Structure 1
Amino acid sequence: MSPSRTLPSAAQRSRSLRLLGSGVAGTLATLVLLSGCGAVPASSEGEDQVANPPVAAAEAEPIEEDSAGHTSTGSEDSEDSADSAPATSAEAEPAETTSDPAAEKTTPEPAEPQSFSGTGAEVVILEPLGEDFFFATVTHDGSRNVALWSVDENGQDLDLMVNQIGTYEGQVALNFREDPAAIRVEADGNWTIDLVPLSDAPRWDGESAYEGTGDSIVLVGDVADGLTPVTLTHDGERNFAIWAWGESYPDLIVNDIGAYDGTTLLPDGSVALQVSADGNWSIAKN
């Protein structure tokens, strides 16, 4: 089940984050060129204009008189014959309609989850992600730095998805803002990358506190309605940051180092939380 609100559509991702989409889920006008308006060109000078021939006046029919002194004309006979003749009219036949399969709209197939694994530095090429939103579950068992960059079709870095020392396991946003064509990996150990549809992410309903560990993606559709104070905690030693993704933003609602315990506002219309943490963390409505 996807949240009621959606992130922006794929056409809007390069501007700012479509949950789903959304929402995704959310939305471009198409200009239609009109041709053949049916205007009749004016005749050029010097051309002969053909006038419609005048309608000839009907000649008067002779008046006949019978023995009783009554008069009649030939038009009466024609009227009688016209009345006696059955009226005929061409009935319009219904126009046959033919369906054009090429013109029919089809629902795009959802993108399939993708999985990759390797050792050390490598570049993985992604299959097109279409209109769906994905996050990545990443693991690494090395002892030195592991870093992942999303890369566009021109080979330019888009986002630094992961940057940690040693072993790592976490969930990170993939195409919330832009569609990457590849992921560039720097590592000294074995690693895995699993792309997961955003609709399959864990969900917080706002009823009780939600607890997580490390980097996480959490759906929060319908939790924030107007002013929504939330209390956040973190017991790690390094950076603790949370971005609230919605239809036209992400909002950085907390950004601190080490242990944290504080209250802030969850933006109205938030769809998903992107959490960066190295310890245990929690979020609860006040």
Structure 2
Amino acid sequence: MKKIAFFILPFIIFSIKAIAQDVTIDASLTETPISAKTLSSTISGSLVMPKNVKDKIPVVIIIGDAGPTDRDGNNAKTGIAGNTYKLLAIELGKKGIATVRYDKRFVGATTTSIKESQLHIEDYSDDAVSLINLLDNDQRFSKVVLFGHGEGALVAMLAGYDQSEKGFIIAEGFADRGEKIMTDAMKDKPKFLADEFKAIMDSLKKGKTTDKVDPSLYYIARPSIQPFVMSFCRYDPIKSLKVIKVPILILQGTTDLTVPVINGDRFKKAKSDASYMQIKNMNHILKDAPADPDQNTATYDKPNLPLKPELVNGIVEFISTKLK
């Protein structure tokens, strides 16, 4: 049986190995480069929008999942090659909604002056804020909407606090704090590794990193990503959600083997006025998939497999009816 991905930290290893094939942009759309600068990075992305637009249209910023995820939603180090974000850009574009998707730091055309050991989750939120500000000042767009996928949901929450976006979409986001997510991921590991990981986490709680780490734990706790782990564990997604003042859409697939349905349920319970879509047979990369692990993960390297139609329709309805 294939191993299910654990999408949290940079450069986590996944069992599928694939290279994404390109997907052609629909003839009714245009795709142009877009970039935004922060103090330490130049964020490079793609703007997709309908041709011959006469009026202002909404624009969605797609904030990617964990690790070195590129603008199309692919991750060469973990073998994810489903083109999820590019497919989403195309489908929303055909519905009259523009999108910006971008390469995260350490991947693609995005450049950064910091090293992995200097990376914190707040850097990712700064990247998103730079795009919010850029698009909010662009007269082609009527409103900015944040779409955070997986770990990107937390990044979006941090970026969207007290900003100018008009709507917020959580797609397959974790409701638990980082420490619990990571500790749960160690439950099937040998006891000596789980104990060492606990010791590392206990040290990080005190603000101290651990230099000597078993190589078997490098994927999740090597010294160079411990500062990121520390920053990631600092935030409670439920509390972060509660302070959001704009309309919220929660998207949760029933066959997501990485982020179980209980996460979407908890977000809805914490924010009762949020719209909540529980999409049957949708997996973590937003595609139709059964619960069987082998068949589910087989979709991860099928770049032309379409997204769940209910997902796209739900986003369009949310933007057209719930946002001012």
Where is the strand percentage greater, Structure 1 or Structure 2?
A: 1
Larger radius of gyration: 1
Where is the helix percentage greater, Structure 1 or Structure 2?
A: 2
The TM-score, its normalising length taken from structure 2, stands at 0.24
The TM-score, its normalising length taken from structure 1, stands at 0.26
